[in-house]
């Protein structure tokens, strides 16, 4: 009887198996890698319900303060008197969870590898029948499985956020709502893939830092610094180009800490010139897909090569 494809894949690449001895060992020693408040939001509908509950509370306070004179809170509370309050809360929660994902991956990667190198248990693992590459990939995939639930929720939130595009297209007089061009489609694809590419970059850089520093605490601090500089640096490059060449202008500077929304904003407010839109898509592809994958791949390769030398 022919085995299913996933069984053949596990036999050929045993590091993909969640029941790998090293994967089970790492999962046992890091049971609380994800904070409890983050774990509660690994269910999409639980997150939506939480946002609706917050909206209801803010709606109550907005009604109380709306007719009070000389209240600076009135303009801030006005959106929560409308049905758009829940989507606004979801946008805020998405940004919080996005940064929690990147920080959590950096934290767990540096702990997983830094602890092994600091306590000299990596040399013990090298005495097992598994080669360094298999050990490293297994440990990285264990971290990925921990945060995959949050990645799935972010993907669902982003897929839901695409509903704003038909509204944005309808508000533009120079285009038809039904005409979604190839550049729009590329921006949508990059928007959906962005959490995965940046998570891969953070994982690769964190692995390299852990191997170079070989001390869990300092590796964690360096990884946090590299995370902020790397992600915000890529966002700044894209925002700088958008400031001088896109319709949103100086508002693009606000996307430096919130670059995870840049592909959606670009798709919602495209340039009128096709040539400029092509250049904008190329810059976006470079900063959202190309450079994160390149940085993560190079860092991961160098880190694994250094691990091979630690016998």
Percentage of the chain beyond pLDDT 90 is 34
| pLDDT at res. 232 | 92
C-alpha–C-alpha distance, residues 133 and 137, integer Å: 6
Q: pLDDT tens across 42-57, in order?
A: 888 999 898 889 888 8
Predicted confidence (pLDDT) at residue 179 exceeds the cutoff of 70: no
Confidence of residue 6 (pLDDT cuts 50, 70, 90): very low
CB 191 within 8 A of CB 290: no
User: Which spans in the chain are helix H?
Assistant: 5-12, 21-29, 36-39, 44-66, 74-77, 85-118, 121-125, 132-161, 164-171, 182-213, 216-245, 262-268, 274-285, 291-309
| Cβ-based burial of 218 (10 A; exposed 0-12, middle 13-18, buried ≥19) | middle
What contacts 103, CB < 8 A, 6 or more positions away?
224, 227
pTM above 0.85, yes or no: yes
Predicted confidence (pLDDT) at residue 10 exceeds the cutoff of 60: no
| pLDDT at res. 75 | 67
* Burial 167-201, CB ≥16 within 10 A → b, else e: ebbeeeeebeeeeeeebbebbbebbbbbbbbbbbb
User: Which spans in 162-181 are helix H?
Assistant: 164-171
What contacts 214, CB < 8 A, 6 or more positions away?
114, 117, 118
| pLDDT at res. 24 | 81
| pLDDT at res. 9 | 47
Tell which residue, 142, 108, 305, has the closest CA to residue 220.
Answer: 108
Confidence of residue 72 (pLDDT cuts 50, 70, 90): low
Predicted confidence (pLDDT) at residue 182 exceeds the cutoff of 90: no
Q: pLDDT tens across 23-40, in order?
A: 888 877 765 667 788 888
Cα–Cα distances in Å, from 28 out to 23, 69, 85, 146, 173?
9, 58, 41, 12, 58
C-alpha–C-alpha distance, residues 283 and 266, integer Å: 11
Mean pLDDT of the chain: 83
For residue 144, how many C-alpha atoms fall within 13 Å in the half-sphere facing its CB? 21
Confidence of residue 171 (pLDDT cuts 50, 70, 90): low
């Amino acid at each position: 009887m022919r085995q299913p494809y996933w069984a053949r894949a596990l036999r050929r690449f045993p590091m993909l198996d969640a029941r790998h001895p090293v994967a089970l060992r790492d999962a046992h020693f890091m049971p609380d890698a994800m904070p409890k408040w983050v774990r509660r939001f690994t269910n999409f509908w639980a997150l939506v319900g939480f946002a609706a509950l917050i909206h209801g509370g803010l709606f109550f306070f907005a009604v109380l303060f709306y007719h009070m004179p000389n209240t600076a809170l009135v303009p801030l509370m006005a959106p929560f008197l409308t049905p758009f309050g829940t989507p606004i809360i979801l946008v805020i929660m998405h940004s919080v969870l996005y940064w929690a994902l990147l920080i959590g991956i950096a934290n767990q990667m540096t702990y997983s590898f830094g602890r092994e190198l600091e306590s000299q248990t990596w040399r013990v693992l090298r005495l097992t029948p598994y080669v360094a590459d298999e050990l490293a990939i297994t440990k990285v995939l264990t971290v990925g499985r921990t945060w995959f639930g949050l990645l799935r929720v972010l993907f669902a939130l982003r897929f839901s956020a695409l509903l704003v595009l038909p509204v944005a297209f309808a508000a533009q007089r120079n285009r038809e709502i039904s005409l979604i061009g190839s550049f729009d489609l590329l921006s949508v694809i990059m928007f959906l893939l962005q959490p995965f590419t940046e998570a891969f970059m953070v994982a690769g850089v964190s692995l390299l830092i852990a191997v170079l520093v070989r001390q869990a605490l300092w590796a964690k601090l360096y990884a946090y610094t590299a995370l902020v500089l790397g992600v915000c640096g890529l966002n700044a490059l894209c925002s700088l180009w958008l400031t001088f060449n896109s319709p949103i202008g100086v508002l693009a500077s606000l996307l430096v800490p919130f670059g995870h929304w840049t592909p959606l904003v670009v798709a919602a407010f495209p340039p009128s010139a096709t040539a400029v839109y092509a250049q904008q898509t190329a810059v976006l592809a470079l900063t959202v897909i190309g450079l994160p994958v390149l940085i993560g791949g190079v860092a991961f390769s160098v880190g694994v090569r250094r691990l091979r030398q630690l016998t």
